[in-house]
Structure 1
Amino acid sequence: MNDEHDRPRDAAAPVPPAFRERLLPGPGAWVLAIGFGVLVVILLLPLAPLVAPGAGVLAAAVTVAVLMASAPLVEVRSGELRAGAARVPVAVLGQVTPIFSAEEMRLALGPDLDARAYVCLRTWARTGLRVDLRDPLDPTPYWLVSTRRPDELADALVEAGAGR
Protein backbone atom coordinates (compact mmCIF):
# COMPACT_ATOMS: atom_id res chain seq x y z
CA MET A 1 0.00 0.00 0.00
CA ASN A 2 2.15 2.82 -1.25
CA ASP A 3 -0.40 5.56 -1.00
CA GLU A 4 0.85 9.14 -0.96
CA HIS A 5 -1.82 10.04 1.59
CA ASP A 6 -0.27 7.64 4.11
CA ARG A 7 3.16 9.26 3.93
CA PRO A 8 4.07 11.90 6.49
CA ARG A 9 4.43 15.38 5.07
CA ASP A 10 7.93 16.72 4.65
CA ALA A 11 8.46 19.34 7.35
CA ALA A 12 10.73 21.33 5.06
CA ALA A 13 8.13 21.59 2.28
CA PRO A 14 7.44 25.22 1.36
CA VAL A 15 4.23 26.71 2.70
CA PRO A 16 2.07 28.27 -0.02
CA PRO A 17 1.41 31.98 0.49
CA ALA A 18 -1.94 33.10 1.88
CA PHE A 19 -1.62 36.14 -0.39
CA ARG A 20 0.81 36.93 -3.19
CA GLU A 21 0.85 39.83 -5.63
CA ARG A 22 3.64 41.17 -7.79
CA LEU A 23 2.98 44.88 -8.38
CA LEU A 24 3.67 44.88 -12.11
CA PRO A 25 2.96 48.05 -14.06
CA GLY A 26 -0.25 48.47 -16.02
CA PRO A 27 -0.61 48.21 -19.80
CA GLY A 28 0.53 51.80 -20.35
CA ALA A 29 4.03 51.07 -19.07
CA TRP A 30 4.39 48.07 -21.35
CA VAL A 31 3.30 50.17 -24.33
CA LEU A 32 5.88 52.81 -23.34
CA ALA A 33 8.59 50.13 -23.17
CA ILE A 34 7.78 49.05 -26.72
CA GLY A 35 7.56 52.70 -27.77
CA PHE A 36 11.03 53.26 -26.37
CA GLY A 37 12.32 50.41 -28.52
CA VAL A 38 10.67 51.94 -31.59
CA LEU A 39 12.21 55.32 -30.73
CA VAL A 40 15.67 53.74 -30.53
CA VAL A 41 15.11 52.20 -33.98
CA ILE A 42 14.06 55.57 -35.43
CA LEU A 43 17.05 57.36 -33.91
CA LEU A 44 19.59 54.77 -35.04
CA LEU A 45 18.16 54.03 -38.48
CA PRO A 46 19.96 56.90 -40.29
CA LEU A 47 23.25 56.11 -38.53
CA ALA A 48 23.32 52.30 -38.56
CA PRO A 49 20.42 50.78 -40.53
CA LEU A 50 21.55 47.19 -39.95
CA VAL A 51 22.00 47.64 -36.19
CA ALA A 52 18.89 49.77 -35.52
CA PRO A 53 16.26 46.96 -35.37
CA GLY A 54 18.37 44.86 -33.01
CA ALA A 55 19.13 47.84 -30.80
CA GLY A 56 15.42 48.68 -30.67
CA VAL A 57 14.48 45.16 -29.63
CA LEU A 58 17.28 45.15 -27.05
CA ALA A 59 16.18 48.54 -25.65
CA ALA A 60 12.57 47.36 -25.33
CA ALA A 61 13.65 44.06 -23.75
CA VAL A 62 15.90 45.79 -21.22
CA THR A 63 13.10 48.22 -20.32
CA VAL A 64 10.65 45.35 -19.82
CA ALA A 65 13.22 43.49 -17.70
CA VAL A 66 13.80 46.57 -15.51
CA LEU A 67 10.05 47.06 -15.06
CA MET A 68 9.62 43.44 -14.02
CA ALA A 69 12.67 43.37 -11.75
CA SER A 70 11.66 46.56 -9.96
CA ALA A 71 8.09 45.39 -9.31
CA PRO A 72 7.86 44.60 -5.59
CA LEU A 73 6.29 41.46 -4.23
CA VAL A 74 3.55 41.77 -1.59
CA GLU A 75 3.08 38.48 0.21
CA VAL A 76 1.68 36.92 3.36
CA ARG A 77 3.45 33.63 4.08
CA SER A 78 4.56 31.67 7.14
CA GLY A 79 3.36 34.27 9.63
CA GLU A 80 5.09 37.13 7.89
CA LEU A 81 4.09 40.11 5.72
CA ARG A 82 6.54 40.94 2.97
CA ALA A 83 6.31 44.17 0.98
CA GLY A 84 9.24 44.77 -1.34
CA ALA A 85 12.47 44.13 0.56
CA ALA A 86 10.91 44.58 4.01
CA ARG A 87 9.40 41.85 6.19
CA VAL A 88 7.48 41.98 9.43
CA PRO A 89 6.02 39.17 11.57
CA VAL A 90 2.22 39.13 11.53
CA ALA A 91 2.29 38.78 15.33
CA VAL A 92 3.34 42.45 15.70
CA LEU A 93 0.69 43.79 13.32
CA GLY A 94 -2.26 45.68 14.71
CA GLN A 95 -5.27 47.14 12.95
CA VAL A 96 -5.54 46.38 9.23
CA THR A 97 -7.24 49.06 7.12
CA PRO A 98 -7.90 48.50 3.41
CA ILE A 99 -7.76 51.59 1.18
CA PHE A 100 -10.24 51.15 -1.65
CA SER A 101 -9.99 54.40 -3.61
CA ALA A 102 -7.31 56.52 -5.24
CA GLU A 103 -8.51 59.53 -3.23
CA GLU A 104 -8.12 57.68 0.09
CA MET A 105 -4.64 56.58 -0.99
CA ARG A 106 -3.73 60.16 -1.93
CA LEU A 107 -4.74 61.32 1.55
CA ALA A 108 -2.86 58.47 3.23
CA LEU A 109 0.28 59.35 1.26
CA GLY A 110 -0.11 63.12 1.60
CA PRO A 111 -1.62 64.99 4.53
CA ASP A 112 -2.16 61.92 6.70
CA LEU A 113 1.31 60.37 6.20
CA ASP A 114 3.58 59.89 9.19
CA ALA A 115 7.18 60.35 8.01
CA ARG A 116 8.26 57.32 10.06
CA ALA A 117 5.90 54.95 8.21
CA TYR A 118 7.21 52.27 5.87
CA VAL A 119 5.77 52.86 2.39
CA CYS A 120 5.83 50.34 -0.44
CA LEU A 121 4.17 52.39 -3.18
CA ARG A 122 3.61 51.90 -6.87
CA THR A 123 1.63 54.64 -8.59
CA TRP A 124 -0.03 52.21 -10.97
CA ALA A 125 -1.67 50.38 -8.03
CA ARG A 126 -4.04 53.08 -6.83
CA THR A 127 -5.41 51.18 -3.85
CA GLY A 128 -3.63 49.76 -0.85
CA LEU A 129 -3.58 48.81 2.77
CA ARG A 130 -2.50 50.42 6.01
CA VAL A 131 -1.43 48.10 8.80
CA ASP A 132 -0.43 49.39 12.23
CA LEU A 133 2.60 47.99 14.05
CA ARG A 134 2.44 47.10 17.76
CA ASP A 135 6.15 46.59 18.30
CA PRO A 136 7.37 49.01 21.01
CA LEU A 137 10.98 48.60 19.83
CA ASP A 138 10.18 49.59 16.23
CA PRO A 139 9.84 53.34 15.57
CA THR A 140 7.75 52.60 12.46
CA PRO A 141 4.10 53.29 13.40
CA TYR A 142 2.55 51.57 10.39
CA TRP A 143 3.07 50.20 6.90
CA LEU A 144 1.35 51.64 3.85
CA VAL A 145 1.41 49.10 1.03
CA SER A 146 0.12 49.41 -2.53
CA THR A 147 -2.01 46.52 -3.74
CA ARG A 148 -4.66 46.04 -6.38
CA ARG A 149 -6.48 43.62 -4.03
CA PRO A 150 -6.68 45.38 -0.63
CA ASP A 151 -9.60 43.29 0.65
CA GLU A 152 -7.82 39.99 -0.10
CA LEU A 153 -4.59 41.20 1.54
CA ALA A 154 -6.51 42.39 4.61
CA ASP A 155 -8.30 39.05 4.88
CA ALA A 156 -5.02 37.12 4.56
CA LEU A 157 -3.41 39.22 7.31
CA VAL A 158 -6.36 38.84 9.68
CA GLU A 159 -6.44 35.09 9.00
CA ALA A 160 -2.69 34.92 9.72
CA GLY A 161 -3.22 36.61 13.10
CA ALA A 162 -2.88 40.36 12.55
CA GLY A 163 -4.76 42.53 15.01
CA ARG A 164 -5.02 39.89 17.75
Structure 2
Amino acid sequence: MQNPRTDARPEYRERLAPSLRLLATVALAGPMVSLIFVPVGSTFALVIGCVVSAILVVAFIAMTPVIRVEGTTLRAGRAHIDSRHLGEPVALTGEEARHARGPGLPANGWHLIRGGIDGIVVVPNTDPDDPVAAWTISTRTPDRLAAAIRAARA
Protein backbone atom coordinates (compact mmCIF):
# COMPACT_ATOMS: atom_id res chain seq x y z
CA MET A 1 0.00 0.00 0.00
CA GLN A 2 1.36 3.42 -0.92
CA ASN A 3 1.44 6.35 1.42
CA PRO A 4 -1.33 8.86 0.69
CA ARG A 5 -0.23 12.30 -0.39
CA THR A 6 -0.58 14.87 2.39
CA ASP A 7 -0.67 18.66 2.17
CA ALA A 8 2.40 18.86 4.43
CA ARG A 9 4.61 17.31 1.75
CA PRO A 10 6.26 20.00 -0.40
CA GLU A 11 5.24 20.05 -4.04
CA TYR A 12 8.60 21.54 -5.03
CA ARG A 13 11.79 21.75 -2.99
CA GLU A 14 15.28 22.82 -3.99
CA ARG A 15 18.31 23.64 -1.88
CA LEU A 16 20.59 26.20 -3.51
CA ALA A 17 23.71 24.39 -2.30
CA PRO A 18 27.13 25.84 -3.08
CA SER A 19 29.24 24.36 -5.86
CA LEU A 20 31.87 21.72 -5.19
CA ARG A 21 34.57 24.25 -6.12
CA LEU A 22 33.39 26.61 -3.38
CA LEU A 23 33.15 23.79 -0.84
CA ALA A 24 36.70 22.68 -1.68
CA THR A 25 37.91 26.26 -1.25
CA VAL A 26 36.20 26.52 2.14
CA ALA A 27 37.68 23.17 3.21
CA LEU A 28 41.17 24.59 2.59
CA ALA A 29 40.74 26.79 5.66
CA GLY A 30 41.27 23.67 7.82
CA PRO A 31 44.91 23.09 6.82
CA MET A 32 45.61 26.79 7.33
CA VAL A 33 44.20 26.62 10.84
CA SER A 34 46.19 23.45 11.54
CA LEU A 35 49.44 25.31 10.77
CA ILE A 36 48.76 27.53 13.77
CA PHE A 37 48.66 24.53 16.09
CA VAL A 38 51.75 22.68 14.78
CA PRO A 39 53.92 24.01 17.65
CA VAL A 40 51.48 22.40 20.13
CA GLY A 41 51.62 19.00 18.41
CA SER A 42 51.31 17.65 14.89
CA THR A 43 48.56 15.18 15.73
CA PHE A 44 46.56 17.85 17.57
CA ALA A 45 47.06 20.24 14.62
CA LEU A 46 45.85 17.59 12.15
CA VAL A 47 42.72 16.87 14.21
CA ILE A 48 41.92 20.58 14.61
CA GLY A 49 42.39 21.16 10.87
CA CYS A 50 40.05 18.29 9.96
CA VAL A 51 37.42 19.46 12.44
CA VAL A 52 37.54 23.05 11.17
CA SER A 53 37.21 21.89 7.55
CA ALA A 54 34.25 19.64 8.38
CA ILE A 55 32.48 22.34 10.40
CA LEU A 56 32.89 24.94 7.65
CA VAL A 57 31.65 22.62 4.88
CA VAL A 58 28.63 21.52 6.92
CA ALA A 59 27.87 25.15 7.87
CA PHE A 60 28.03 26.31 4.25
CA ILE A 61 25.62 23.55 3.18
CA ALA A 62 23.25 24.04 6.14
CA MET A 63 23.02 27.81 5.67
CA THR A 64 22.04 27.68 2.00
CA PRO A 65 18.53 28.89 1.20
CA VAL A 66 15.76 26.48 0.26
CA ILE A 67 13.05 27.17 -2.31
CA ARG A 68 9.74 25.43 -1.61
CA VAL A 69 6.23 25.50 -2.98
CA GLU A 70 3.94 24.04 -0.32
CA GLY A 71 0.22 24.14 -0.93
CA THR A 72 -0.47 27.72 -1.97
CA THR A 73 2.70 29.24 -0.47
CA LEU A 74 5.98 30.04 -2.21
CA ARG A 75 8.93 30.08 0.18
CA ALA A 76 12.31 31.32 -1.02
CA GLY A 77 14.83 31.43 1.79
CA ARG A 78 13.24 33.17 4.76
CA ALA A 79 10.62 34.99 2.67
CA HIS A 80 7.21 33.62 1.75
CA ILE A 81 4.17 34.78 -0.20
CA ASP A 82 0.77 33.30 -0.92
CA SER A 83 0.33 32.27 -4.55
CA ARG A 84 -2.85 34.33 -4.95
CA HIS A 85 -0.57 37.43 -5.00
CA LEU A 86 1.64 36.04 -7.75
CA GLY A 87 1.35 36.63 -11.47
CA GLU A 88 2.48 34.34 -14.28
CA PRO A 89 6.03 33.04 -13.59
CA VAL A 90 8.65 33.34 -16.32
CA ALA A 91 11.43 30.72 -16.46
CA LEU A 92 14.67 32.03 -17.94
CA THR A 93 18.00 30.42 -18.83
CA GLY A 94 21.14 31.42 -20.70
CA GLU A 95 21.40 34.98 -22.00
CA GLU A 96 17.86 35.87 -20.88
CA ALA A 97 18.70 34.79 -17.30
CA ARG A 98 21.93 36.80 -17.37
CA HIS A 99 19.98 39.88 -18.43
CA ALA A 100 17.33 39.26 -15.73
CA ARG A 101 20.08 39.05 -13.06
CA GLY A 102 21.83 42.15 -14.34
CA PRO A 103 20.36 45.10 -16.24
CA GLY A 104 16.82 43.67 -16.14
CA LEU A 105 16.75 43.27 -12.36
CA PRO A 106 13.93 45.40 -10.91
CA ALA A 107 15.12 47.79 -8.20
CA ASN A 108 11.92 47.41 -6.20
CA GLY A 109 11.87 43.61 -6.44
CA TRP A 110 12.74 40.81 -4.03
CA HIS A 111 15.79 38.81 -5.11
CA LEU A 112 17.24 35.44 -4.14
CA ILE A 113 20.18 35.16 -6.51
CA ARG A 114 23.04 32.70 -6.12
CA GLY A 115 26.22 32.68 -8.17
CA GLY A 116 26.93 29.59 -10.22
CA ILE A 117 23.23 28.86 -10.77
CA ASP A 118 22.19 29.71 -14.31
CA GLY A 119 18.40 29.50 -14.19
CA ILE A 120 16.10 32.30 -12.99
CA VAL A 121 12.37 32.48 -12.38
CA VAL A 122 10.78 35.93 -12.34
CA VAL A 123 7.34 36.08 -10.73
CA PRO A 124 5.34 39.33 -10.74
CA ASN A 125 3.77 40.33 -7.43
CA THR A 126 0.16 41.44 -7.93
CA ASP A 127 -0.54 42.47 -4.31
CA PRO A 128 -1.38 46.21 -4.41
CA ASP A 129 -0.34 46.66 -0.76
CA ASP A 130 3.11 45.14 -1.27
CA PRO A 131 5.88 47.50 -2.49
CA VAL A 132 7.74 44.57 -4.10
CA ALA A 133 7.07 44.45 -7.85
CA ALA A 134 8.44 40.98 -8.60
CA TRP A 135 10.34 38.04 -7.12
CA THR A 136 13.55 37.00 -8.89
CA ILE A 137 14.70 33.55 -7.77
CA SER A 138 17.76 31.53 -8.85
CA THR A 139 17.02 27.87 -9.53
CA ARG A 140 18.69 24.94 -11.25
CA THR A 141 15.30 23.81 -12.66
CA PRO A 142 13.42 26.97 -13.70
CA ASP A 143 10.76 25.07 -15.68
CA ARG A 144 9.86 22.87 -12.70
CA LEU A 145 9.69 25.84 -10.29
CA ALA A 146 7.52 27.83 -12.70
CA ALA A 147 5.22 24.81 -13.12
CA ALA A 148 4.96 24.37 -9.34
CA ILE A 149 4.04 28.06 -8.93
CA ARG A 150 1.41 27.74 -11.66
CA ALA A 151 -0.01 24.66 -9.93
CA ALA A 152 -0.14 26.49 -6.59
CA ARG A 153 -2.00 29.39 -8.23
CA ALA A 154 -4.64 27.04 -9.72
Residues 89-115 of structure 1: CA distance to partner in whole angstroms, max 9, x if unpaired?
0111002101112x3333212211121
Displacement of 1:56 in angstroms is 0.6
Deviates more, 1:37-46 or 1:61-70: 37-46
Separation in 1, partners of 2:110, 2:26: 29
The match for 1:131 is 123
The match for 1:151 is 143
Q: Equivalent of 1:142, from 99, 119, 134?
A: 134
Q: Summarize the alignment of residues 18-97 of structure 1 with structure 2, pairs less than 5 Å apart.
A: 18-46=11-39, 48-97=41-90
TM-score w.r.t. length of structure 1: 0.83
Q: Which amino acid aligns with 1:123?
A: G
Displacement of 1:48 in angstroms is 3.8
* Contact kept? 2:74, 2:83, Cα under 8 Å: yes
Q: Secondary structure at the match of 2:59?
A: helix
Separation in 1, partners of 2:80, 2:33: 39
Q: Percent identity?
A: 31
Tell me how large the CA RMSD over aligned residues is. Answer: 2.2
In the alignment, structure 1 segments of 5+ residues that lack a partner are none
The match for 1:113 is 105
Residues 62-100 of structure 1: CA distance to partner in whole angstroms, max 9, x if unpaired?
211221222001000020000000000011100210111
Separation in 2, partners of 1:95, 1:73: 21
Q: Kindly tell me the number of residue pairs found equivalent between the two proteins.
A: 153
In the alignment, structure 2 segments of 5+ residues that lack a partner are none
Q: Secondary structure at the match of 1:124?
A: coil
Displacement of 1:21 in angstroms is 0.3
Separation in 2, partners of 1:58, 1:104: 42
Separation in 1, partners of 2:87, 2:143: 16
Structure-2 change in CA distance of 1:4 and 1:35 (3 Å): closer
